[in-house]
Amino acid sequence: MIRLILKRLVLGVLTLWLVATLVFLVSGALPGDAAASLLGQDATPATLAALRAQMGLDQPEFIRYWTWLGGILHGNFGISLANGQPVAQVIATRLPNSLMLAGLSALVAIPVSLVLGIASAMKPNSVFDRLTTLLSIIALSTPSFLIATLFVLVLSVWTGWFPALSSVDRVHSLGGLFQVMTLPVLALSLSVIGQMARMTRAILLQQMNEPYVETAVLKGSSGLRAAVLHALPNVAGPIVNASALSLNALISGVVFVEVIFAYPGLTKLMVDSVSNRDLPLMQACALIFCAGFLILVLIADIIAILTNPKLRTA
Partner 1 sequence: MDSTAVPARPTRRLRLPRWPVLSLIGAVVFLFWAIIAIFGDWLAPHDPGAFIDSWNVLGPMTHQTWLGTDYLGRDVLSRIMTGAKYTVGLPFVTAGLALFFGLLLGVGATLLSEPLDTALSWLMDTVNSLPSTIFALVAVAGFGTSIPVLIIVITALYIPSAYRNVRAAALNVSRMEYIDAARVRGEGHLHVIFREILPNIVPNMLTHFGIMFIYIALLLSGLSFLGLGVQPPEADWGALISENMVGLSYGAPAIFAPALSLLSLTIAMTLMVDAVSHQNRER
Partner 2 sequence: MSEQDKPFIEVSNLTIAAGGRDIVRNVSFAAKKGEVIALIGESGSGKSTIALSLMGYARRGCRITGGEIRVGDRDVLGLSRAALRGFRGKDIAYVAQSAAAAFNPVKRIRSQIVEAATLHRSMSREEAGRRQKALMKTMALPEPDSIGERYVHQVSGGQLQRMMAAMAMINTPEVMIFDEPTTALDVTTQVEVLTAFKAMIRERGVTAIYVSHDLGVVAQVADRIIVLKDGEVMENAPAEDVLERPRSGFTRSLLDASETRRLDLSEGHDRDVVLQADGVVAGYGRIRNGLPGYPVLHDISFRIRQGQTLGLIGESGSGKSTLGRVLAGLLPAAQGRAMLNGRPLDLRDARRRSKLDRRELQIVFQMADTALNPRLSNAEILGRPLTFYHGLRGGARRQRVMELLDMVRLPAHLADLSPRELSGGQKQRINLARALAANPSVVICDEVTSALDTVVANAVVELLVELQRELGLSYLFISHDLGKIEAMCNEVMVLLKGREVERAARDRLTAAPEHAYTRQLVRAVPQLRRGWLEEVTSVPAAPTA
The region of 3-11, 25-33, 185-193, 206-214 touching partner 2 under the rule CB under 8 A is 206-214
Rounded (10°) angle between helices 127-141 and 87-122: 160
Burial class (CB in 10 A: 0-12, 13-18, 19+), 134: exposed
Q: Which is nearer to partner 2, 97 or 120 (CB)?
A: 120
Contact with partner 2 (CB under 8 A) among 17, 66, 233, 299? 233
Question: How does DSSP classify residue 40?
Answer: -
Residue 196, burial from CB neighbour count under 10 angstroms (0-12, 13-18, 19+): buried
* CA separation, residue 20 to residues 15, 23, 27, 60, 225 (Å): 9, 5, 11, 18, 46
Contacting residues toward partner 1, per CB under 8 A: 11, 15, 18-19, 22-23, 26-30, 137-138, 140-146, 149, 152-153, 157, 248, 251-252, 255-256, 259, 267, 270-271, 273-275, 277, 279, 282-283, 285-286, 289-290, 293-294, 297
What is the Cα–Cα distance from 177 to 104, expressed in whole angstroms?
12
Is residue 299 at the binding interface for partner 2, with CB under 8 A as the rule? Answer: no
* # chain residues binding partner 2, by CB under 8 A: 21
Nearer to partner 2, 259 or 311 (CB): 311
CA dihedral 289, 293, 296, 298 (to 10 degrees): -120
Interface residue with partner 2 among 116, 230, 238, 270 (CB under 8 A) is 230
The least distance separating partner 2 from the CB of residue 208, rounded to whole angstroms, comes to 8
Residues that bind partner 2 (CB under 8 A): 209-212, 214-222, 230, 233-234, 307-310, 313
